[in-house]
A and B are shown apart, each in its own frame.
Chain A
Amino acid sequence: MNDMTDQEKQLIELLADMQEDEAHALAKRMVLEEGVDPMRVLDLCRQAMDIVGKRFEAGEYFLPELVLAGEMLENIGAIARPLIKSKPGEEPKKLGKILIGTVHGDLHDIGKNIVTFMLDINGFEVKDIGVDVPVAVFIDEIKDYQPNVVGLSGFLTLAFDSMKETIEAIQGAGLRTDMKIMIGGGQVDENVCNYTGADAFGTNAIDAVTLCKDWMGVAA
C-alpha cells in the first residue's frame, strides 16, 4: 500500500472494515466527482476483498461479512463499470476455471454462493450455474465451459445420490480426464466423498479455495 494515496488507502480500509456507507460515498465521489479511473477504484475494491478473504480465513470474519462485502462490491461496481472504457488485455490472468452448482433435487445456495465469492476474490474465474441443476446441464456446461474444477454443492442428504449420479455421468461422458471434482455442503464428509467418487470434499469455503489452489499448482 506504500505507493497509494491516502484516499486510496482509506477506501480499502473502509471496505475491509465493513464501513459500508462511508466506503460507498467515497467510491462514488472518486468515480463521479473526482474523475478517478473506475478501473483503479475496482482494483482497490479487489484489494479490500483480499483483506476480507484473509480475515475470513483467520476466523475473524464470518458469513455476515462475506455477504456484506459481496454486496458492497456489487454496489460500487454498478457505479464504476459503466464508466470503464474497454481496454482489452488488462484483465488479470485467472488462476483457473471453476464450474459450480447445487445438484439436482436440492435448492440450497448459501454455501455455494460463499464458495463462489471466495474463489472469485482468490483469483479464479467462476461460473455459477445455480441450484437444482440436472445432470445433463452439468454435462453440457462442462463441455461448453471446460472448467479445471467442478464443484458440486448440496445441503440435503438426497444430494449424496445426486452427486454420485452427476459424477458417474461426467465420468461416463469421458469428461473427467483433465478435471477435478470437489463436493461440499452441510452433511458432506469423508463417507460421502467415498460414496460419490469425488476427488475431494470441503466443509467450508476455505477448503474449496485450498483445494483449487492445490490442484492448479498455486501456492496457498
Chain B
Amino acid sequence: MNAPQTEFQTLEAEAAYNARWQRVMDCVNLKQPDRMPTAMFCTFFLAKLGGISHRQLMYDYDKAKELGERALIELEPDVHNPLLLNTAAGPVLEAVDYKQLIWPGHGVGENQPYQYLDREYMKADEYEEFIEDPTGFYLRKYLPRVLGAFEGFEEFPDLPGLHYFRLVGGVRGFARPKLRAALERVLKAAEEVDRFAEEHGSFTQRMKSLGFPTSHISTSVSPYDLVADYFRGATGTMKDLYRNKDKLLRLLDKACGFLTRQTINWSRASRHPIVFFPIHWGPDNFMSQEQFKTFWWPSFRQLMINIIEAGIIPMPLWEADCTKRLEVIRDIPPGKCIYWFERTDMVRAFEVLGDVVALRGNISPSLLTTGTPDEVDAAVRHLAENVFYKGGKLILDAAFGLPDETPVENARAMYAAARKYSS
C-alpha cells in the first residue's frame, strides 16, 4: 500500500512530499533515513497560532484549513495528523448529538479543549448481550446511549431469524414512529458527517499538493481500551478484572476480531497504510505486569499481527510511562510498527526496541508550554544525540502532540532544532 496519488503544485512539492514520506518509511523499515524525520500532531494549538477561540476552530472549516496550512508551512514537519478531523468537528458532533464528549461552547468554555466523559456506557450485566451480538448491541443499546440522533433505535427490529414471509413482515418494524424519526435524524446527521469528510479530504489533498504527507488518516483502538474507555468506563473495567474476568477476556477476544476487520477496512478506504492507536490503559502505574500480560497485551498484540499481515503499519501512542512494558511489547515482527512514547524514557525505549520498531516522540509537554526556546532546543539535541545518532529510527515529535498552550516560538524551536541536529 502506498500513500495516495494526487497532483502536486510544483516539482519541488512533489520531491519534498516523496522525501518526507520516505524518511518516515525508512524509519518503519529500520533503515537509516537521510535525516531525522519530524511529525506534528496538534489540535487547539492551531487556535493559539491564529489568535482565535477554540470554539471558532471547531466550527469554522475554512479557518481551520487556513491555520492548518499555515502551521505546516511555518513549522515544516515531515508528517502531520489529519488536522481537520481533530479540530473542526463541532458541526458533526452537534449533528449526531454526541454525548460522550463536551466541547468548546458545548459543556466547556469557548477556549477550553474538548473533554471525554468517562462513564459506564455499558452495564456489567450486559457483557453476554454484547458478546453474543455486537451489531445488535450497538444498534439497540449503545448508539442511542451515546448519540442523541439515534434515540429511537432501541426499537430497531431484531433481524437474525427473520425468514420468508416473516422477513417481509419484519420490515414493518421500520415504520415505528420513534425509529422512523430517528432514521430521519440519522440521515440528516450523515449528510453533515459526509460534508466534514469532504472538507477533510480536500484539505489533505491540498496539503499533499504542497508537499506535506499525513502521518495517518484512520485511528483504531486496542480491545481493552475500547471496553475501558468507551463501554464500561475506567473504574468499571478495573473492577471487572476481578468481578467479570472471564466475560471481559471473552469480549476482548471478540473485539480483536471485529476491530481487525474494521481497522483493515478503514485503512484501505483512507488509502493510507499507517493507523494510529492512542493507548490509554497500558502504562506501568495502571495495572500489574501480570494483569497487563493477561488482559491488556494479548488481544492488542493479536490485532497488530492481524493488520500487519494485511499490510498496515500500526502506530500506537503509548501514553504516560510504559518503561516496564518495553520488554513485553517488543514481541512484534521487526520493521512493521511505529511506537510513539509519551513519558517513557526514549533512550531506554531505544535500547530495548531499537532493532524492532521506529520510535516517535517525545519532547515534554511541560517543557514546551513553560520552557524557553533554548531549553526546547537542548531537549531535541538530547534525543538526537542519544537516540538518532546512535542508530535509533526516531521520528521527532512532542510527547503526545503539541500542547494547546505551546508558545509558537517553542514550537518553532522544536522543529528548527530537529532540522539542526538531524544528521
Find out whether the CB atom of A158 lies under 8 angstroms from the CB atom of B364.
no
A63 to B238, CA, bound (A): 7
Q: In chain B between 268 and 291, which residues have their CB closer than 8 angstroms to a CB of chain A?
A: 285-288, 291
Min CB–CB distance B119 → chain A (angstroms): 11
Interface pick from B172-180, B327-335, B365-373: B365-373
Does B113 belong to the interface (CB within 8 Å)?
yes
Cβ contacts under 8 Å, B187 to chain A: none
A177 to B113, CA, bound (A): 34
Q: B222-235: contact bitstring with A at CB < 8 Å (1 yes, 0 no)?
A: 00000000000011
Cβ contacts under 8 Å, A108 to chain B: 115
Does B112 belong to the interface (CB within 8 Å)?
yes
Does A218 belong to the interface (CB within 8 Å)?
no
**Extra 11 A-B pairs, beta carbons < 8 Å, given A63-B238, A191-B371:** A20-B243, A64-B287, A67-B235, A107-B115, A160-B370, A188-B366, A189-B364, A191-B364, A191-B366, A191-B367, A192-B370
Residue of B nearest to A111 (CB): B285
Residue from the list B118, B287, B370 in contact with A63, Cβ < 8 A: B287
- Tell which of B115, B287, B405 has the most Cβ of chain A within 10 Å: B115
Number of interface residues of A (CB under 8 A): 29
Find out whether the CB atom of A157 lies under 8 angstroms from the CB atom of B242.
no
- A-B interface, 8 closest residue pairs, ranked by CB to CB distance from nearest: A64-B238, A191-B366, A157-B403, A195-B370, A67-B238, A192-B366, A64-B241, A62-B287
- Taking beta carbons and an 8 Å cutoff, which residues of B are in contact with A? 102, 108-109, 112-113, 115, 117-118, 234-235, 238-239, 241-243, 285-288, 291, 320, 364-367, 369-371, 403-405
Does A171 belong to the interface (CB within 8 Å)?
no
A186 to B343, CA, bound (A): 9
A68 to B234, CA, bound (A): 12
Find out whether the CB atom of B366 lies under 8 angstroms from the CB atom of A64.
no
Find out whether the CB atom of B320 lies under 8 angstroms from the CB atom of A71.
no
Find out whether the CB atom of B365 lies under 8 angstroms from the CB atom of A187.
yes
A160 to B112, CA, bound (A): 13
Cβ contacts under 8 Å, B364 to chain A: 189, 191
Find out whether the CB atom of B112 lies under 8 angstroms from the CB atom of A204.
no
Find out whether the CB atom of B366 lies under 8 angstroms from the CB atom of A62.
no
Does A156 belong to the interface (CB within 8 Å)?
yes
Residue of A nearest to B236 (CB): A67
- Taking beta carbons and an 8 Å cutoff, which residues of A are in contact with B? 18, 20, 60-64, 67-68, 71, 105-108, 110, 156-158, 160-161, 186-189, 191-192, 194-195, 204
A2 to B366, CA, bound (A): 50
Cβ contacts under 8 Å, A186 to chain B: 320
A105 to B286, CA, bound (A): 24
Residue of B nearest to A188 (CB): B366
Min CB–CB distance B316 → chain A (angstroms): 17
Residue of B nearest to A186 (CB): B320
Residue of A nearest to B238 (CB): A64
A188 to B364, CA, bound (A): 10
Cβ contacts under 8 Å, A18 to chain B: 242
Min CB–CB distance B365 → chain A (angstroms): 5
Find out whether the CB atom of A62 lies under 8 angstroms from the CB atom of B285.
yes
Cβ contacts under 8 Å, B287 to chain A: 62-64
A108 to B291, CA, bound (A): 24
24 pairs of residues in contact across A and B, judged by CB atoms under 8 Å: A60-B288, A62-B285, A62-B286, A62-B287, A62-B288, A62-B291, A64-B238, A64-B287, A67-B238, A67-B239, A68-B239, A71-B239, A105-B112, A110-B118, A158-B113, A158-B404, A158-B405, A187-B365, A187-B366, A189-B364, A191-B366, A192-B370, A195-B370, A204-B285
Cβ contacts under 8 Å, A106 to chain B: 115
Find out whether the CB atom of A160 lies under 8 angstroms from the CB atom of B369.
yes
Cβ contacts under 8 Å, B405 to chain A: 157-158, 160-161
A58 to B362, CA, bound (A): 29
Min CB–CB distance A99 → chain B (angstroms): 23
Cβ contacts under 8 Å, A64 to chain B: 238-239, 241-242, 287, 291
A160 to B365, CA, bound (A): 10
Find out whether the CB atom of B242 lies under 8 angstroms from the CB atom of A68.
yes
Residue from the list A67, A105, A110, A160 in contact with B366, Cβ < 8 A: A160
Find out whether the CB atom of B285 lies under 8 angstroms from the CB atom of A63.
yes
Min CB–CB distance A121 → chain B (angstroms): 17
Cβ contacts under 8 Å, A188 to chain B: 366
A160 to B328, CA, bound (A): 33
Min CB–CB distance B167 → chain A (angstroms): 45
Min CB–CB distance B44 → chain A (angstroms): 9
Q: Given A105-B108, A158-B112, A187-B366: A110 and B234 within 8 A (CB)?
A: yes
A186 to B281, CA, bound (A): 13
A110 to B283, CA, bound (A): 14
A29 to B102, CA, bound (A): 45
A105 to B405, CA, bound (A): 13
Min CB–CB distance B336 → chain A (angstroms): 29
Cβ contacts under 8 Å, A107 to chain B: 102, 115, 117
Min CB–CB distance A25 → chain B (angstroms): 15
Residue from the list B234, B235, B288, B366 in contact with A195, Cβ < 8 A: B366
Min CB–CB distance B98 → chain A (angstroms): 16
Residue of A nearest to B286 (CB): A63
A107 to B365, CA, bound (A): 19
Cβ contacts under 8 Å, A71 to chain B: 239
